[in-house]
A and B are shown apart, each in its own frame.
Chain A
Amino acid sequence: MIEASPAAGFKILAREDFSDVTYSLVIHHPLMAKAAQPGQFVIVMSHESGERIPLTIADFDRKKGTVTLVVQAVGKSTKEMQQVCQPGTSLYGIVGPMGVPSPLTGKKKVVCVGGGLGVAPIYPQARGFKENGAYVIGILGFRTKSLVFWADKFRACCDELILCTDDGSAGMKGFVSDGIKLAIAGHKDIDEVVAIGPPIMMKACVEVTRPHAIKTIVSLNPIMVDGTGMCGGCRVKIGNEVKFACVDGPDFDGHKVDFNDLMMRLKRYTEEEKAALNRWSESCRIMKQTPTVNAAEPTLGLPDPFEEALGG
């Protein structure tokens, strides 16, 4: 029944690198693949002394028994995972699916907005809306052309797709909020907008939809430890209420979210994160100079993670 156990770890079956900072991991976990719903997330521990990293589920395949995560290498843990998480290796822990699934039924026309890494978790929602018979307008935003991923997957499940890049190197030049304006101009009957991405992006999106009074759902990813409603680290202000993103969310009514509070709280561990990254990068550099050490063997065909670490 329960196939994966912590002793054996959770097997990584495949990996794809979208850019030198973004990569996807396909993890074998039949029970999770069966249970996962769009909008939910998992918490991953790559090794025993690692931290618990919340990641939104980017895709799941119930037949193959896999879940897909898309990770951006920004801090020590995610950069380390970029090095060591290869097909055939295992994650020490993955738990979920966490959070309340996004309701996907009863909508006629929806706009699914993904910005940067948020493109990954919006995908199952777009697909789910489509499966439930909605007219789906996809809006994807990236900084530049080389960072674009999954555009083809979205084309397959969206009735319209608007691709935006900050520099105009692919699709239209502009932010996803410009894309939403375009969609609203073309469609007067949008039931709902779902936006996932960095807080600043989601904040911009809700400001675009607010004057039109279009219901806008955002997916929040604050700092959390357990993901089961115990630490309260992920508390967010929704209107006059305090909610826990892990058990009450992660989806909330974007027009009620206090984004300033969220962004301030996300800075809580900035210094420690920076210090950990520097320490780790330094140790990688030393290891790289010592040819006998093989703990972080670069794999063929991948961008050199050391360069990234030093550059970041």
Chain B
Amino acid sequence: MRPNRHWACPIRLKKRWGDSSNMAKKKKTIRSIPQLRTPVRELDPQVRVKNFEEVNCGYSLDEALNEAERCLMCPDPACIAGCPVNINIPKFIEALTAKDVRGAYDVITASNLLASVCGRVCPQETQCEGVCIVGETLEPVAIGRLERFVGDTAIKEKWVNIPYIEPTGYKIGIVGSGPAGMACAADMAKAGCDVTVFEAFHQAGGVLKYGIPDFRLPNAVVDAEIENLRKLGVKFECNTLVGRLFTIEQMRNEFGFDAVFIGTGAGYPSMLGIPGDSLNGVLSANELLTRCNLMRAKEFPNFDTPLPLGKRVAVIGAGNTAMDAMRVSLRLGAEKVYCIYRRSRAECPARAEEVHHAEQEGVEFNWLTAPVEVLADGKGNVRAMRCIKMELGEPDDSGRRRPVPVAGSEFEFECDQIVFAIGTNANPIIGQTSHLGLNKRGYINTDETLATSMAGVFAGGDIVTGAATVIEAMGAGRKAARSIKNYLRIRDSSDDDAGKPGLGTFFGIDLRERNFARIRAA
């Protein structure tokens, strides 16, 4: 080990955000780092398409260390700001390079309790990795894979960071156990509140459980992360349909919840709205995925929920949910799976990796194609679909070029099952049963602090923004947690976790002083 030379560069040291263990190393440059991104092992497409095992095998320690070396440790890291929950990415990678996986885990969990989940499902290419400086010249640092490595190691080693929590006596109710609710629950529990999460399904996890399939995010990983929340003292009440079993008003007025967070998501699927869309064999991606993932229809008849599958499955849409539906259909035994999308590949909203995986597994993509009518076999089932070719016109509100039908280009597309994944809408139950202010599309109105029209009631995630990503929902959950702490006048210790160095002192008091001390369990 080389001598610590931090005395030699006090100014640079101040600009760093980590401890000084790395200071001894030579400054890395774009030329000195490993040039190629460390590839990750994946199951062979021909093998994996027949099972639900996770496709991406994740990094080994050596691979992770190699990839960690590619981080330049920029003094002004763009990746932190690129992350919706502001994980101190350089700091955790720095710990990794020192082979301190536990230290890396500590850094990540300061901002994000669900490292294993986010490492898998975040669209890193548009977030942290999208702004990575290395990416300007080479492929960006594989931050997501590193995060997953750290999270998975923690699960394997049964690490859990349980802070010493000083109870505040406040009771917080959280509606929905998806990513927004989980993130909010974690922060409120760490702030010393008595947190109860209500879930309508019989298992907690929300979209992580019913939506994202096992080969992308194993349910065991979700359960492990939920277990960590339980260790923080968070209680989960499943089989509880808030709104109908009791209302938000009752939670505040009768049950004594000092604040409530609503993260019920936007699960109400948009319909195709074309003739024949109620035929048997036409179903939403939500139904397909819920039956398969949560209800384990893939293990029918050992599990009771059935999911008969067509031989030729057409999935309409090209988002992540559509990719999941296609890949699930393949694994359930469909002979042919098609993607039908009215725009072109360039506009396709799915993560690049998902499209790539779907392609590898044999999904046939039909870009610039839109369904017009579902055709029946005379017995109430799907026989085929009438489609029309599209071409791209002027950009629309979303900035993407608007698809326009090509006159006279209609054709028949043979398929016996149609899965639609064309977006979702606000879940209506909370709106039906409370007096919360909603916008005209049924989403909950909030101010910039995520406060709703009802005092002490906050909302975030898809139920406010419309369908978005897991990590954005988690970011909203954390933001709401900050607002709830502010509302309850709880001193907020989480801000300084978000990688904001050098806040300095105020009359000699360290502004980053915490009201809890981190201790290690296990």
Contact size range, B: 35 or more
Known contacts A96-B245, A225-B290, A247 near B429 by CB under 8 Å: yes
> Is A32 part of the binding interface, using a Cβ–Cβ cutoff of 8 Å?
yes
Residues of B within 8 A of A77 (CB): 304
> Is A152 part of the binding interface, using a Cβ–Cβ cutoff of 8 Å?
no
Point out residues on B near A: beta carbons under 8 Å: 196, 200-202, 210, 237-241, 244-246, 255, 267-269, 271, 273, 278-280, 283-284, 286-287, 290-291, 295-296, 299-306, 308, 380, 427-429, 432
In the complex the two chains form, is B244's CB within 8 Å of A51's CB? no
Contact of A273 among B200, B278, B287, B306 (CB under 8 A): B306
Closest 10 CB pairs of A and B: A272-B306, A231-B287, A230-B267, A51-B304, A232-B284, A264-B380, A93-B202, A51-B305, A95-B239, A49-B303
Known contacts A226-B290, A228-B429, A231-B287, A98 near B244 by CB under 8 Å: yes
Residues of B within 8 A of A244 (CB): 268
Most chain A beta-carbon contacts within 10 A, residue among B238, B245, B291, B432: B245
Known contacts A96-B241, A235-B271, A242 near B278 by CB under 8 Å: yes
Contact of A95 among B241, B273, B284, B427 (CB under 8 A): B241
Residues of A within 8 A of B241 (CB): 95-98, 227-228
> Is A52 part of the binding interface, using a Cβ–Cβ cutoff of 8 Å?
yes
Residues of B within 8 A of A232 (CB): 268-269, 271, 283-284, 286-287
Known contacts A230-B427, A232-B287, A267 near B238 by CB under 8 Å: no
CA distance A40 to B501 in the complex (A): 55
Point out residues on A near B: beta carbons under 8 Å: 1-2, 4-6, 10, 31-32, 35, 40, 45, 49-52, 76-77, 92-100, 225-233, 235, 237, 242, 244, 247-248, 261, 264-265, 267-269, 271-273, 275-276, 279
Residues of B within 8 A of A99 (CB): 244
In the complex the two chains form, is A97's CB within 8 Å of B244's CB? yes
Residue of chain B at shortest CB distance from A235: B278
CA distance A271 to B308 in the complex (A): 9
In the complex the two chains form, is A230's CB within 8 Å of B290's CB? yes
Contact of A93 among B239, B280, B304, B306 (CB under 8 A): B239
- 9 A-B residue pairs with Cβ-Cβ distance under 8 Å, sorted by A, are A51-B305, A95-B202, A225-B305, A228-B200, A229-B427, A232-B269, A232-B284, A235-B271, A248-B428
Residue of chain B at shortest CB distance from A77: B304
Known contacts A2-B237, A95-B239, A95-B240, A272 near B290 by CB under 8 Å: no
CA distance A279 to B304 in the complex (A): 11
Known contacts A51-B304, A229-B429, A31 near B200 by CB under 8 Å: no
Known contacts A51-B305, A95-B202, A98-B244, A247 near B278 by CB under 8 Å: no
In the complex the two chains form, is B280's CB within 8 Å of A231's CB? no
Contact of A35 among B238, B245, B268, B291 (CB under 8 A): B245
Residues of B within 8 A of A235 (CB): 271, 278
CA distance A185 to B60 in the complex (A): 81
Residues of B within 8 A of A95 (CB): 200-202, 239-241, 245
Residue of chain A at shortest CB distance from B237: A2
CA distance A237 to B276 in the complex (A): 12
CA distance A4 to B245 in the complex (A): 12
Residues of A within 8 A of B279 (CB): 264
Contact of B291 among A76, A225, A248, A273 (CB under 8 A): A225
Known contacts A6-B238, A35-B244, A247-B432, A231 near B301 by CB under 8 Å: no
Most chain B beta-carbon contacts within 10 A, residue among A49, A229, A233: A229
CB distance from A67 to the nearest CB of B (A): 11
* Apart from A228-B429, A273-B306, A276-B300: 15 A-B pairs, beta carbons within 8 A: A31-B245, A32-B245, A50-B303, A50-B304, A51-B305, A94-B239, A97-B241, A98-B241, A225-B305, A227-B241, A229-B427, A230-B268, A231-B284, A244-B268, A265-B278
CB distance from B73 to the nearest CB of A (A): 44
In the complex the two chains form, is A230's CB within 8 Å of B269's CB? yes
In the complex the two chains form, is A231's CB within 8 Å of B304's CB? no
CA distance A49 to B301 in the complex (A): 10
CB distance from B125 to the nearest CB of A (A): 28
Residues of A within 8 A of B267 (CB): 228-230
In the complex the two chains form, is B280's CB within 8 Å of A265's CB? yes
Contact of A264 among B280, B286, B429 (CB under 8 A): B280
Residue of chain A at shortest CB distance from B288: A231
CA distance A272 to B488 in the complex (A): 53
